[in-house]
Amino acid sequence: MSLCAQSAVLSLFPSVDGPAAGVLPNYSIHVNEREDQPVAGQAAESDRDWELFQLIGAQDRVAFAEFYDRHCARLYSIAQRILNDATEAQDVVQDAFMQIWEKAGQFDPKLGRPAYWVVTLVRNKAIDRVRASQRRARLAESAGAEAALVPAVAESANARLHGHEKATLIRSAMVELPADQRQAIELAFFSGLTQDQISTQLSQPLGTIKARIRRGLLKLRDQLEGVL
Amino acid sequence: MIIDERMEELASLYVIGALTGPELAEFQAALQASPKMQQFLAGLQPAVEAVAGSIPVVAPPPELRAKILARVAPQKVVTLPERSFPAALWWLRAIATGLAALCIVLLLDDRQLHQTISAQNRQISELQQLAQTLQSATNSLNQTVLSLRESNRLANVRITMLNSLLADAPKMEAVTLWDYQSAGGVLVVQNFRNLPPDKDYELWVMDEQKTPVPAGVFHPDASGTLRLDYKAGRFIKTPGQFCVTEEVKGGVAAPTIKNLVLASN
């Protein structure tokens, strides 16, 4: 099943076939109570992303360059993490930025945060490539094995995007997540596994996986409120 | 809609991209119907962003930025430097400018000319149709004129039968067509009796005063037939009787009554 076919905002999302990719939110029905503002986490960074999207929609190359500088490290890191291949990661990032250049003008702030959109855009494109190359099982295994946080001394993608202070807060939130919750979340996001596949991968009941993902995301949401 | 624990699970799986199958359809329907659910889901987005950014940063290669920005760069337009022409060649520019202006004028003229030609072609076509119509009318009028002329000509002609006055040659007969305009006509005879070589027949036309006017002599061949174009010796406006006499060769000035052989009624 294609993500695009499931979404009312089809053009803003890459096509991700098969159940493993899961389904990303349907932005068209994410209506904020303040309809003229982007939803969730009304941070200045998100506002700036939205401003840049508007400028990019008007074919402003300076704004596009700024958006690239703000997000490329994180997006490239996601692609590299999922694909484990520098060349393919570059291709994915390049495709994603071309899509941003072409579609940013159509982005509706009611649909969500631009940062969330570009993250899922790159994630889905990368997972599409993984499926195409039949490397999924190997990558799923590696994802499970590498489900560890960035060492405190290393720079995270969050640090590159949000600065070290916020990155520390985010890291703290992640550290406080139980390992089983974090692992289930990472298998879903970075490996593109469905809940059933995660259940199989981790040899845990499906209900347990659902609960772990729910609890983990809610905890992150609560701890990061006002940060992102 | 109450967002219970199960719906929170579905929302969490959905936002992280792990929800599939019937649960996906169920959740999407709930999402459509519930603003609360939409709000709840939106609140989970930063959590997903945090997860995405929790991995070690891998710096993209420097050339990637240039490559991507180059793809959105405008097409370079090659323009000649303002002073690429030597000052001494200013007249080349002037000529080029003039030629360009001339081309524009010619193009405009050409366009107008095409329009004029098209209009004239239309007029020619219309005139050709009119000419055909007039030609047809002319032909019809010519036919009418010919017919009228024929009628007029016949109106100016008098046809008169001349019958034999001889008991021994009753089949002798003649017809004369008299043309009033020329005061002459045509005489056609048949079954005429043969004459000795020293004699001729002579045609006479009575004028308004019933005076016989000679109109010509003739000598039919052995078959007794003849066609004679004749003209009265003087102008007669309205002829009276026609008659034929036997006379000496070459004819005479006054008819010999005893030799009268044919006469009209």
The ipTM is: 0.74
Q: Do B12 and A213 touch (CB under 8 A)?
A: yes
When pLDDT is averaged across residues B222-245 and rounded to a whole number, the result is 92
| Confidence tier at A218 by pLDDT (50, 70, 90) | very high
| Confidence tier at A43 by pLDDT (50, 70, 90) | low
The answer to whether residue B122 is domain-embedded is yes
Confidence (pLDDT) at A40:
40
On chain B, the residues whose CB falls within 8 A of the CB of A205 are none
On chain B, the residues whose CB falls within 8 A of the CB of A64 are 69, 72
| Confidence tier at A16 by pLDDT (50, 70, 90) | very low
User: CB-based contact (8 Å) between A115 and chain B?
Assistant: yes
Distance between CA atoms of residues B235 and B239, nearest Å: 10
One domain for residues B107 and B166: no
| Confidence tier at B86 by pLDDT (50, 70, 90) | low
One domain for residues A107 and A173: no
One domain for residues A119 and A156: no
The answer to whether residue B137 is domain-embedded is yes
Q: What is the mean pLDDT of chain B?
A: 85
Confidence (pLDDT) at A200:
93
When pLDDT is averaged across residues A140-145 and rounded to a whole number, the result is 49
Give the count of beta carbons closer than 10 Å to the beta carbon of residue B215: 25
Confidence (pLDDT) at A33:
33
The A residues from 53 to 82 touching B (CB cutoff 8 Å) are 59, 61, 64-65, 68-69, 72-74, 76-78, 80-81
* Contact indicator for B36, B3 with CB cutoff of 8 Å: yes
Domain boundary residue, one of B104, B134, B155: B155
Q: Which of A47, A99, A153, A189 to mutate to test the interface with B (most CBs of B within 10 A)?
A: A189
Number of domains, chain A = 2
Number of domains, chain B = 3
* Number of A–B residue contacts, CB under 8 Å: 230
> pLDDT tens across A59-89, in order?
999 999 999 999 999 899 999 988 888 999 9
Domain boundary residue, one of A102, A134, A166: A134
Residue B134 one-letter amino acid: L
Domain that holds residue A31: 27-134
Confidence (pLDDT) at A24:
43
Closest residue in B to A154 (Cα–Cα) = B56
pTM of the model: 0.52
Confidence (pLDDT) at A174:
82
Domain that holds residue B196: 158-264
Distance between CA atoms of residues B16 and A21, nearest Å: 9
One domain for residues A123 and A147: no
Q: Do A149 and B54 touch (CB under 8 A)?
A: yes
Sequence-separated (6 or more) residues with CB below 8 Å from residue B62:
none
Nearest to A160 among B46, B57, B65 (CB): B57
Does the CA dihedral B79-B83-B89-B91 come out positive or negative?
A: positive
The answer to whether residue B123 is domain-embedded is yes
A111/B166: higher pLDDT: B166
One domain for residues B210 and B167: yes
B145/B77: higher pLDDT: B145
When pLDDT is averaged across residues B14-29 and rounded to a whole number, the result is 88
When pLDDT is averaged across residues A18-43 and rounded to a whole number, the result is 37
The neighbouring-strand residues paired with A11 are none
